[in-house]
A and B are shown apart, each in its own frame.
Chain A
Amino acid sequence: MMKESEAHTEKDAAGMKNHFSFQKYAWAQFRKNKPAFYSYRILIFLVALAILAPFIATDQPLYCKYKGVHMFPAFSPSNNCEVKDPQTGKVENIQYDIADWKRMDAENIVFAPVPYTPQKTDIDNSGYVAPGDKQFFTTKNGEQVELPARFRHWLGTNKGGEDVLSGLINGTRVSLSIGILSMGIASVMGLLLGAMAGYFGDKKLQTTRGAFWTFMIGIVFAWYYGFSVRSYAIADGFATSSAAMIGQLLLSVFIFALVAFLFLLLGRLAGKIPFLSRRVFIPVDSIVSRSIEILMSMPILILIISIAAIAKEKSILNIMVIIGLTGWTPIARLTRAEFLRVSNLEYIQAAKSMGFKEFRIIFKHALPNAIAPALVAIAFGVASAILIESSLSFLGVGVPPSTVTWGSLLNGGREQFSAWWLVIFPGLAIFITVTIYNLLGEGLRDALDPRLKR
């Protein structure tokens, strides 16, 4: 007896120690995949670079002591500082963004690792200076000397004398945020629609005739009060600032949701009327599948280009949103297929029989088991979003000239083929980032779905 129970506890302890968790297993599998794991590390490095870019590549010094005043221009939220000369008593106003830091008589000055801001000309080194060329610097006295190594343009300059390395580092922000924002939109849409289509199918989501039609009419009203009535308010918001734009849009979405919700409540009442109380099925699956088919047969690149071209305010944000709104189809397709499989499993049946709310079953029980293929699709989606964005900025479509991206840097090299550094380095940056995401996608696929492993 004793022995048996001992054995039992031992077994249990061993079970606890090797407690099998799918996350752990997948992570171990992922680590084994060398290329994917290294990509993961490079990605972390790139994210850090993107976050720190304003402090790594800027011509504003990190720290400066000038006439006894301590300044931290790169970190400071304000843009100017008044310096009083202790001897003459003259007050000097230093504007951080236009001050000529490199020629300042500072007692102590610490520059950023790359002491240049993108899109700021270095007159001494304008007109395509190669990384290996002699680079110049005009001192305060007007003498032209060779640029000290600390201030070298390590990756050369472009036509206007803008530092390429600084542009590359700041371009990391654009590329990574494209991936995050556009695929964020795409994954929310894709997961939601795919889950609904797979879980409900055509014959599971039912409502009353009255509720259905009331809601349909409600959508029209919601659109009217949210967007039609407010169209000029939104347009003016777009014209003033991005904060106003987002504010107006959020207000419109709020009104839309509110009106739609009111009609939803109204629909419940309408569903009690005899003729309108007949049950009807909402063919969720058909609607979602048809939409996927239609969107997939569209020339997405041309669609994105034409929408980006009609936008009044050229902004990278537009492109991110468009890529997100058109890029959800693969995620939705894969999620739908997974949900078709998962929703017939016993544990979901059990959850249903226990009377859980459908919302809870979908998001808490089914989604964790169905998300793996979607993750893979998201990783590949990020790669293609970055490719699309860089192609657009390469063509100069829809991206404002004030934004430095890898694509726009590369475009500068098209005018002058002898400026190889303008073609090689930004191209390499795009290539490496895209490769990383593709490798991550492959790694995730192998790690999350052992059946697919080849």
Chain B
Amino acid sequence: MLRYILKRILLFIPTLIIITLLGFIISINAPGDPVERMVSAAQSGGEIGTQSVSQVQDKIFWRKKLGLDLPVFYFSLTSLSRPDTLYRIYDRSEREALDRLISRYGNWEQIQQYEKDLVSFYNSLIAFTPDSSQLQQYNKNTIREHMNWLKSESLTLRSSYEENIIAAKLNKISGILSQYPFLASFRPAFSQVKNDYENIKSTASAWKNYIPRLAFYKTQNQYHRWLFGDGEFSQGLIRLDFGTSYTTKQPVSDVIFSRIGWSMFFAMLSVLLAYLISIPLGVKAAAKRGSRFDKYSSLILFMLYSMPSFWLATLLLMTFANTDVLHWLPASGVKPPMGYPDEAGFFDKVRLSLPYLILPAICYTYSSFAFLSRTMRVSMIDTIGLDYIRTARAKGLPEDKVIWKHAFRNSLLPIITVFANIFPAAIGGSVIIESIFTIPGMGYETFLGIQNNNYPMIIAVFTITGFLTLVGYLVSDVLYALVDPRISYK
């Protein structure tokens, strides 16, 4: 048995790797640049190009902290034309623009030169401060206006890749530059950029794009860092560090561990309640097969089984938490809005929270209980049809004893296996119910994460739920072996 469990745990590893890979693939494909959002949310506004030094440093810091300055994976399938180091360009749109240029022209050296000169041209624009003679000659606003114009054009040029757009922007910049003599100092740098661009076009080697190449990055990559940490900012998934939340900048694991309690509580409660109700119900329906009780309970269970949980939740809220109908229960949360009073003991807390728990508990429980009852009924009917039950009846045993003592135990087996299905469903399905009732659990946190594009949170929940599902399967297999002596795992 122990060996079997060990073997199963070893088999967890490939599954877990695939789950983490999937989660990782999803998170790196997420739209938007998290660093841009995290930094610009803190300080916004200002002139074009006037990113303060602290802001730039902030960005570099967060990029490092989130590991975004690393290549994505251990290796990548790329082309002969692409350099290994493209990931070092921070800005997503700039990186994409360069990559698209490569995919059109295929000559990285020329493209790199172009980008280098363009950046230095842009930096010289940023560094420009008009001297006194220029200020005397021109209106201060004219200077500022034209400089801003140039800055924005060249900044957008850095993330442009379409041929006609680049040409239009180059023309526009040279138009502005030729207008005023005070801009003359930028002309050589700009003609360099223009030359570079012409150079790209004339030396194009697009064929290089069609030759595949594998690039290896060793362990210095985002996935490895996410799994094992880098010893500086991240501890890695294996030490339960799920990264940093994009919205609050807190560690995700802190948020998860403060939230997982309610989710687990409801999952446990619902599984417990479902078993408590469904077992007697299923047994009774099976024992009186074909009776009115059997028919009606089957019908009701079937309807409950098909009922969408979010509909039931909304209906319950509409009826029992509605000031117009019956305002018996609160609509959202798990405890009074003011929190518990200071002197409240454990039982006071339970008493205060109880009204909040009733409706969610119903919604969590009903679908699994309908499913369980149906399974229980079918399995009981199967067992009653067996020979040894006929023998027991023939002996003259009272029906109660036949059912509860002889048939009941054997019909429990299928009920145990479905434990593996119910437990993860209780956690995964909680996204909907928790969002409806605003229960501060993992599901609600996932929902918020989706709304705010907070991918570390979503992926953490995905990974944890996947892990718990695996554990659920293992537990039910072990239970099955414990209950049924015919099954042995060797």
A contact set with B: CB distance below 8 Å: 220-221, 223-225, 228-229, 232, 290, 293-294, 297-303, 305-307, 309-310, 312, 383, 387, 390-391, 394-395, 397, 407, 410, 413-414, 417-418, 420, 423-424, 427, 430-431, 434-435, 438-439, 454
A427-B469 in contact (CB<8A) = no
Q: Which residues of B contact A310 (CB under 8 A)?
A: 26, 29-31, 455
Question: Could you tell me which residues of chain B, from 20 to 37, have a CB within 8 Å of some CB in chain A?
Answer: 22-23, 26, 29-31
B contact set with A: CB distance below 8 Å: 14-15, 18-19, 22-23, 26, 29-31, 77-79, 100, 103, 209-210, 212, 302-303, 305-311, 314-315, 317-318, 322, 324, 378, 381, 424, 427-429, 431-432, 435-436, 446-447, 450, 453, 455, 458-459, 461-462, 465-466, 469-470, 473
A413, closest chain B residue (CB) = B314
Q: Which residues of A contact B303 (CB under 8 A)?
A: 431, 435
Query: Bound complex: CA of A370 vs CA of B458, how far in Å?
Result: 40
Could you write out 30 A-B pairs with CB less than 8 Å apart?
Answer: A220-B212, A228-B78, A229-B209, A229-B210, A293-B15, A297-B466, A297-B470, A300-B428, A301-B429, A302-B428, A302-B431, A302-B458, A305-B431, A307-B26, A309-B453, A310-B29, A310-B31, A391-B308, A395-B310, A395-B435, A397-B450, A410-B310, A417-B318, A417-B322, A417-B324, A431-B307, A431-B308, A435-B302, A435-B303, A454-B378
Query: Bound complex: CA of A305 vs CA of B461, how far in Å?
Result: 12
Query: Bound complex: CA of A314 vs CA of B424, how far in Å?
Result: 28
Q: Which residues of B contact A232 (CB under 8 A)?
A: 100, 103
B465, closest chain A residue (CB) = A299
B308-A395 in contact (CB<8A) = no
Q: Residue A383 contacts which of B77, B306, B317 (CB distance < 8 angstroms)?
A: B306
B263 → A minimal CB distance (Å):
12
B382, closest chain A residue (CB) = A454
Q: Which residues of B contact A225 (CB under 8 A)?
A: 210
B310-A394 in contact (CB<8A) = yes
Q: Which residues of A contact B302 (CB under 8 A)?
A: 435, 438-439
B99, closest chain A residue (CB) = A232
Query: Bound complex: CA of A410 vs CA of B306, how far in Å?
Result: 17
A225, closest chain B residue (CB) = B210
A312-B31 in contact (CB<8A) = yes
Q: Residue A427 contacts which of B78, B308, B465, B466 (CB distance < 8 angstroms)?
A: B308
A418-B432 in contact (CB<8A) = no
B303, closest chain A residue (CB) = A435
B17 → A minimal CB distance (Å):
10
Q: Say whether, besides A299-B469, A423-B318, A305 and B450 are in contact (CB < 8 Å).
A: yes
Query: Bound complex: CA of A424 vs CA of B436, how far in Å?
Result: 17
Query: Bound complex: CA of A423 vs CA of B310, how far in Å?
Result: 10
Q: Say whether, besides A293-B15, A298-B469, A302-B428, A431 and B311 are in contact (CB < 8 Å).
A: yes
Query: Bound complex: CA of A438 vs CA of B302, how far in Å?
Result: 9
A298-B19 in contact (CB<8A) = yes
Query: Bound complex: CA of A297 vs CA of B79, how far in Å?
Result: 36
Q: Which residues of A contact B324 (CB under 8 A)?
A: 417-418
Q: Which residues of B contact A438 (CB under 8 A)?
A: 302, 305-306
Q: Which residues of A contact B378 (CB under 8 A)?
A: 454
Query: Bound complex: CA of A223 vs CA of B79, how far in Å?
Result: 13
Query: Bound complex: CA of A305 vs CA of B470, how far in Å?
Result: 20
Among B14, B78, B307, B318, max chain A CB count under 10 A is at B318
Query: Bound complex: CA of A307 vs CA of B30, how far in Å?
Result: 9
- Return the 5 tightest CB-CB contacts between A and B, nearest first: A427-B311, A299-B465, A299-B428, A435-B306, A224-B212
Q: Say whether, besides A423-B314, A454-B378, A306 and B458 are in contact (CB < 8 Å).
A: yes
Q: Which residues of B contact A418 (CB under 8 A)?
A: 322, 324
Q: Which residues of A contact B458 (CB under 8 A)?
A: 302, 305-306, 309
A294-B306 in contact (CB<8A) = no
Known contacts A232-B100, A302-B465, A305-B458; 17 additional CB pairs below 8 A are A220-B77, A221-B212, A223-B77, A224-B212, A228-B77, A229-B103, A297-B19, A298-B19, A300-B428, A302-B462, A306-B458, A391-B308, A394-B310, A394-B432, A395-B432, A417-B318, A431-B307
A299-B212 in contact (CB<8A) = no
A301, closest chain B residue (CB) = B428
B75 → A minimal CB distance (Å):
12
B319 → A minimal CB distance (Å):
9
Q: Say whether, besides A232-B100, A427-B315, A303 and B450 are in contact (CB < 8 Å).
A: no
Q: Say whether, besides A299-B465, A302-B431, A438-B306, A414 and B459 are in contact (CB < 8 Å).
A: no
Q: Residue B432 contacts which of A224, A300, A391, A431 (CB distance < 8 angstroms)?
A: A391
